[in-house]
A and B are shown apart, each in its own frame.
Chain A
């Protein structure tokens, strides 16, 4: 059974700081996705990572995938308040997505 773990579960960080969210998964997969969810809202797709070594960047967020280590990272550079949300990674498992526990990020001044 595929298990997807994220850490940390909660992250409170100051504006301007950098931090990394980690996503580990238990079985082989070469498709990994990152989503963002604002309170009371649905999930918004951020990144699609399809191969080992894939790196995608959008604004202050950068995601990478290491399929050999079964690890993806979401790096936040110079955080701003607008990045406050819950971030989920999801791993493709025979054409269905299994989600991690989510990382609730709060950025404060």
Chain B
């Protein structure tokens, strides 16, 4: 079982659909993150959760809605997306305040909005 698991791996949705991305970490970490990776753009931090509390919302449009029910699970709820939201969405987790503190990434969800 990999450390950080994301589902689905691929998602095609229409602009009027509602869907959710799921992330689960098996590393016992206390922080989880959503990143967006678009073609020709740097990795953009979207949301940060420390100990299940959202500590960062990086000016993300409200059509993206995160949810962190516990320290092992993170969701990204999607509704009325735009074609420019098509990207690779990466979930990561880390142990904050720990020696090292590196983030471990899931395989990502490749999202296409049509």
Report which A residues bind B (CB closer than 8 A): 31, 33, 35, 41-45, 48, 50, 88, 90, 92, 95-102
Bound form: Cα–Cα A42–B2 in Å:
12
> Which residues from chain A contact B45 at a C-beta distance below 8 Å?
96-99
Which of chain A's residues have a CB closer than 8 A to the CB of B102?
33, 45, 48
A102-B42 contact in complex given A41-B107, A42-B108, A95-B50, C-beta closer than 8 Å: yes
Contacts of A90 in B (CB 8 A): 103
Q: Are B105 and A43 in contact (CB under 8 A)?
A: yes
Interface flag for B66 (CB, 8 Å): no
Give the contacts of B83-114 with A (CB-CB under 8 A): 90, 92, 94, 96-97, 99-108
Interface of A is mostly: strand
When A99-B42, A100-B42, A102-B42 are in contact, do A45 and B31 touch as well, CB less than 8 Å? no
Contacting residues, chain B, for A98 (C-beta < 8 A): 45
- Asked if B103 contacts A33 (CB within 8 A), the reply is yes
- Chain B nearest CB, measured from A71 CB (Å): 18
Question: Residue of B at shortest CB range from A41?
Answer: B107
Q: Which residues of B contact A88 (CB under 8 A)?
A: 43
List of B residues within 8 angstroms of A44 by Cβ: 105
CB-based nearest A residue for B99: A50
- Distance, CA A44 to CA B108, complexed state (A): 12
Pair A95/B96 contact, Cβ less than 8 Å: yes
